[in-house]
Amino acid sequence: MLFKRCFAFLVICCCLLLPTGAIVASAQERRAEGFRRYEGKYIELLTDLPDRADVNVELEQLPKAFDAAMPLWCKYFGVELAEVEDWRASACIMLEKGRFREAGLIPAGVPEFPYGFQYYDQLFVSEQPSAYYRRHLLIHEGTHWFMSHHFGANAPPWIMEGMAEWFGTHRWNLETQQLDLSIIPTDKTLVPYWGRVRKIREQLEAGTAPSLEDIMQYDNTAHLSVDAYAWSWAAVVFMVNHPDTKEAFSEVLQQPMRPDMTQTRWLFEKLKARWSSIREQWNAFTSDLDYGWSPQGGMLTISNNPTKLVGSSTPITIHSDRSWQASNVYAAAGNKIRIRATGSYEVAQLPKPWICFADGVTLEYYRGQPLGRLMLAISTPRNKPVATQQITIMPLATEAVVEMPQTGELHFRVNEASLEIGDNQGQLTVQIELLEK
Ligand SMILES: [Zn+2]
């Protein structure tokens, strides 16, 4: 996390010119101060954490995890490993920040920061209540460090912090030393004190979530609040995964970085024709986002020219193993429509296949509805910026009559967490009929 990004930007570029000898010399001085030291290929780490076996086990792992991140950063940003051969960061993992300040390890130009800070080749991480979160912050700051070396400049705050959070959310296997970056945790117990999903769900439910535009226009002070990290992370997860945005976002990361709004504006211009749909697709994504969320089952995508419902629709096939599927049919607010669903499908394989119809099975519930129940989402492109909000979702059955609360396209899926939907088998046939205008 960069407490004061504009300031950090000013210093990052000069930093690239620093001779590495200065780092080696200062490292020797630091050892004299009595901080414990751990070393990896790309990082040297100093700490004042208690010299206890359980803590030391975790600390010994940190340089290994950081070194394992290097080829992954390189691969994502298209950098050859040979190019980063001489890159080397130093990190302070600090229980008492004052000790590091007194020892001259925190340059005077580094402001107060609550979690972490990247300054030239120096990374600072305040001690956290979980080993996961400590490592998360080191990789987060390491991502800033890698990107600042690679690009020589910073991107807008939502991209810089969103990317650092996206990479920082990781899985580290102590036994195999396998590191996976940019994961969506399957369970909150795997990422203690990370809390981004909870923050997003709370604000969605309270109606206080910022609009996508608000997030993309965060200024250099927005990330004083933890909320901004959660939303920047979500925006990047959306941009790298949604079929409407992923190519354009990838192009942004191939351009020279600028800390102002240039790249955000470029992205907006590139996506302008679909932007009103993207606003609603973002709403659908955040409504779905949860532990174990995955793009593999597809993301809600609004059809380009859906057909207005007149009489009866043609039969629509809905796959039980996918997320929201567009019907290419829309109905107007106030229309009364009947939706009939036929077909059965399997929603779980163990301990035995559960055969399910559109009413779902009441042996298990997901988000308050029976597992496997047919669900309806109504998507309405948004012509103006709107606070991020849950899309309209309604439970259906083998036959249901719905009064349209808004004009929009109809999307269907069966009710199950995205972590588990992929092993379903079978499909339904849905038919929509206009009863009353
Ligand atoms: Zn950051």
Task: Decide: 195 and 268 in contact? Cβ < 8 Å.
Answer: no
The pLDDT assigned to 33 comes to 65
Q: Which of 192, 253, 260 is nearest to 220 (CA)?
A: 260
**Residue 381, phi then psi, degrees to nearest 5:** -55, 140
The closest of 238, 235, 242, 239 to 215, measured between CA atoms, is: 235
In the prediction, which pLDDT does 8 show? 35
Tell me, in angstroms, the distance from the centre of ligand 1 to residue 229's CA. 8
Distance 323 CA to ligand 1 centre (A): 32
Question: What angle do the packed helices 262-271 and 275-288 form, to 10 degrees?
Answer: 100
CA of 186 to the centre of ligand 1 (A): 23
Give the number of other CB atoms < 10 A from CB of residue 61.
17
Name all domains of the chain by residue range, CATH numbers in brackets: 5-154 (3.40.30.160), 190-295 (no CATH), 297-436 (2.60.120.430)
Specify the residue for token string 């890159």.
87
DSSP notation for 291-353: TT--GGG------SSPEEP-SBPPPEEEETTSS-EEEEEEE-TT-EEEEEEE--EE---SSS-
Q: Give the Cα separation of 324 and 318 in Å (integer).
A: 9
> 166 C-alpha to center of ligand 1: Å?
11
How many angstroms separate the alpha carbon of residue 319 from the centre of ligand 1?
40
Q: How far is the CA of 112 from the centre of ligand 1 (A)?
A: 14
CA 393-397-398 angle, to 5 degrees, is 140
Q: Rounded to the nearest whole angstrom, what is the distance from the C-alpha of residue 175 to the centroid of ligand 1?
A: 29
pLDDT reported for residue 2: 44
What is the mean pLDDT, run by run of 10 residues, along the chain of 437 residues? 36 31 48 80 96 94 98 97 97 95 90 91 95 97 96 93 97 95 94 93 95 94 89 98 98 91 95 97 97 94 97 96 98 98 88 89 92 97 93 97 98 94 95 92
Ligand 1 centroid–CA 160 distance in Å is 7
CA of 431 to the centre of ligand 1 (A): 49
Q: What separation in Å is there between the alpha carbon of 246 and the centre of ligand 1?
A: 22
Distance CA 372, CA 424 (A): 9
* C-alpha span between 73 and 142 (Å, rounded): 10
pTM: 0.91
